[in-house]
Structure 1
């Protein structure tokens, strides 16, 4: 039996080797199938996550677009209101200039009448009054009125521009807060 066993050792070894290789091949096939299933599951999960991320990005983009549109509309409205307020200030300045010009004409007429009366009194031999103080007072009043008009216009336009700036800042701050909180309003 030992001789038969020795004679067939190669045969039994080949059979054992074949069975071992077959078992190894079967195990590798099972591992490959398991890896393929895991890969398919991972790809499905990845695709689902990509779709969710794309949908989230689309929603976020739309929210930011709406916030940007709202902010742009508020800025445009703010600019329109500021331009209207500046036009009102310019109209006020024009009215003030007209009033100043009327007052200066009236003052010039008064000074002319005062000088004429003073010259008539001097021609009649009466004491001639000095017209220099009245003319100095008129000149000072004219200068003060001019400067007051300039300062009033500067103050009006500065206030209008400042209020427009505040509204733009408030709008930008509200947009930023809405973007951070996730609200579109």
Structure 2
């Protein structure tokens, strides 16, 4: 039997080697199938996460677009309101100019009457008052009124523009706070 066993050792070795290789091949096939299942699961998970991220990005983009549109509309309204305020300031300046011109005409008429009365008194032999101080006072009043009108117009337009700037800043600040509140 020992001689038979020695004669067949190569057969048994080849058979054992074939069985070992078959077992290794079966194990590798099982591992490959498991790896394919894990890969398919990972791909499904990746696709689901990408779809979720795309929906979230679309929602966020839409929200920011709406916030931007709202801000743009508010800024346009602020600009329109500022133009109305500037027009009102211009109209106020024009009314002030008319009042100033009317006052200057009345003052010029008064000075003309005062000079005529002074000349009449001088012609009748009475003492004629000096008209220089009244004319100086009228000139100072005219200059002060002109400068006050200029300063009032500057202040009115600066106020209207400043308020528009404040409102635009407040609108932008509200938009930023709304965007930050929605992302938290």
TM-score, normalization: structure 1? 0.96
Q: How does 1:144-159 map to 2 (within 5 A)?
A: 144-159=144-159
Q: Distance in 2 between matches of 1:4 and 1:94?
A: 131
C-alpha distance in 2, partners of 1:129/1:34?
A: 121
C-alpha RMSD of matched pairs (Å) = 1.0
Aligned pairs (5 A) from 1:35-184: 35-182=35-182
Q: Give the Cα–Cα distance (whole angstroms) in 2 for the partners of residues 12 and 51 of structure 1.
A: 58
Cα offsets for 1:12-49 (capped at 9, x unmatched) = 11100000000000000000000000000000000000
CA distance in 1, matches of 2:9, 2:122: 160
**Equivalents in 2 of 1:170, 1:109: separation in Å?**
52
Gap regions ≥5 residues in structure 1: none
Q: CA deviation at 1:172?
A: 0.6
CA distance in 1, matches of 2:142, 2:46: 82
Is there any run of 5+ residues in structure 2 with no aligned partner, and where? none
Tell me how far apart the structure 1 counterparts of residues 140 and 3 of structure 2 sit (CA, whole Å). Answer: 144
Q: CA deviation at 1:124?
A: 2.0
Q: Any idea what SS the aligned residue of 1:127 has?
A: coil
More deviation, 123-132/50-59: 123-132
The one-character-per-residue Cα deviations of 1:118-172 (angstroms, maximum 9, x if unpaired) are 1122122221110001001101111111111111111111111111111111101
Moved over 4 A (4+): none
Q: Describe the superposition over 1:52-87 as per-residue Cα deviations: whole angstroms up to 9, x where unpaired.
A: 000000000000000000000000000100110010
TM-score calculated relative to the size of structure 2: 0.97
- Partner Cα separation in structure 1 for residue 7 and residue 116 of structure 2: 158
Secondary structure of the residue aligned to 1:182 is: helix
| Aligned match of 1:21 | 21
User: In structure 1, the residue corresponding to 2:129 is in which secondary structure?
Assistant: coil
